[in-house]
Structure 1
Amino acid sequence: MNKELWKNNKNGKLYEVLNYNILNCTNEQDGQTMYLYKVFSERVLDCNGKEIIFVRSENEFKTKFTKL
């Protein structure tokens, strides 16, 4: 499986999209498509040593990132 890499337009870091077929089911954003992604070139860990995964709405993601 090929990695889907995107560049953050603000900080220049590369991110790997893990999934983009996620539906937001909270009241205000019910049915909104979300992108699940992580930093590609390094592991970003929380205070418990677990890798941090990010989620962002499809529209916002495509505005703030450029596909490579």
Structure 2
Amino acid sequence: MSKNLWKNNKNGKFYEVLNYNVLNCTNEQDGQTMYLYRVFSEEVLDPEGNERLFVRAEDEFKTKFTKYDL
């Protein structure tokens, strides 16, 4: 299965997009498309040992990350 990998333009790390159709339901941003992603090149855990996931607005994500084709 192919991974949906993106490279962070600032830190050079790779991230895997898990879902690119997440809707923000916060009052002012209601309906805004968000990207759900995780660090791909290393495991990042919270204090309880759960994997950390991140969200970012689609337009900001596409500005700060570059699609990496295998």
Task: Tell me which interval the TM-score lies in, with the shorter structure as reference length.
Answer: over 0.9
Instruction: State the match for 1:6 in structure 2.
Output: 6
Identity percentage of aligned residues: 79
* Alpha-carbon distance in 1 for matches of 2:36, 2:60: 12
Instruction: State the match for 1:22 in structure 2.
Output: 22
- Give the number of equivalent residue pairs: 68
Q: TM-score, normalised by structure 2?
A: 0.94
SS of residue paired to 2:60? helix
Instruction: State the match for 1:31 in structure 2.
Output: 31
Structure 2 gap segments, 5+ residues each:
none
Instruction: State the match for 2:57 in structure 1.
Output: 57
> After TM superposition, which residue ranges in structure 1, 4 or more long, deviate above 6 angstroms?
none
* Alpha-carbon distance in 1 for matches of 2:21, 2:2: 17
Q: Map Cα deviations across residues 27-51 of structure 1 (whole Å, 9 max, x no partner).
A: 0001100000000011100111110
Structure 1 gap segments, 5+ residues each:
none
Q: CA RMSD in A?
A: 0.6
SS of residue paired to 2:12? coil
The residue type paired with residue 40 of structure 1 is F
**1:2 Cα shift?**
1.5
